[in-house]
Amino acid sequence: MKQLIIIGAGGFGREVLEWAKQSPAYRREWEIAGFLDDRADCLERFSGLELPLLGNTHDYEPRKDDVFLCAIGVPQLRMEMRKRFEAKGAVFTRLIHESCVVGSRVELGTGVILCPRVVLTCDISIGANTAMNVSTAMGHDASIGTDCQISSFCDITGYVKIGNEVFLGSRASIIPGKQVGDRSVIGAGSVVVADVPEKVTVFGNPARLLSRHD
């Protein structure tokens, strides 16, 4: 049986552990082996957590039965971890909670995480290693790139196009047909009513430019 290893033992990592234990694949396709994290003390205050810290992300060498999920909430770090482990020959799996609704002609890349009550309607594409948190919805003909972090209760409407390494804060909404460029950040509660260029942070209703970044 495969051994699932969760990269990242922070808050999102511990949430992913909960959803993994509720997955139909648990104990049918894989057991949960533990976490990888570069902070040696990251689990010390969680005495009831039954899973071990297996090591750090630099030194761990994937074994033939390992499969991985990246549970780090920062898109650029998600990308770095994916590339680091793919270079070692690691295999990423998908996690789709049983409460999700996934319609027809939905394409999911490797390593995609769909947390409880995510709704994907139809004709949707989601790139590798993107995570969608609780109760987020995505409309028809929309797409998301690789290594994105989509927070809880977001509303991604029809024909929206989101680039790579994008972060959406909780309850962010994007009206139909708008585009969000690579590495941009949409602040929590924002309503995007115009295209967002790459490498910027926007916030508000309507969303306005706060800063530019690399």
Is 73 annotated to bind ligand? yes
In 3D space, the residue among 23, 47, 48, 49 whose CA is nearest the CA of residue 35 turns out to be: 49
Active site residues: 140
Classify the C-alpha dihedral 161-184-58-7 as positive or negative. Answer: negative
CA-based torsion, 39, 40, 44, 48: positive or negative: positive
Question: How far apart, in whole angstroms, are the C-alpha atoms of residue 168 and residue 198?
Answer: 13
Distance CA 167, CA 124 (A): 18
In the chain, how long is the greatest CA-to-CA distance? Answer: 49
HSE-CB at 182 with a 13 A cutoff on CA atoms is 7
Could you list the beta-strand ranges (E) of 139-213.
143-144, 149-150, 155-156, 161-162, 167-168, 173-174, 179-180, 185-186, 191-192, 200-203, 208-212
Structure-token pair, residue 3:
């051994």
The residue type at 87:
A
- Per the structure block, which two tokens stand in for 60? 């761990």
Binding-site residue positions for substrate: 73
Binding-site residue positions: 73
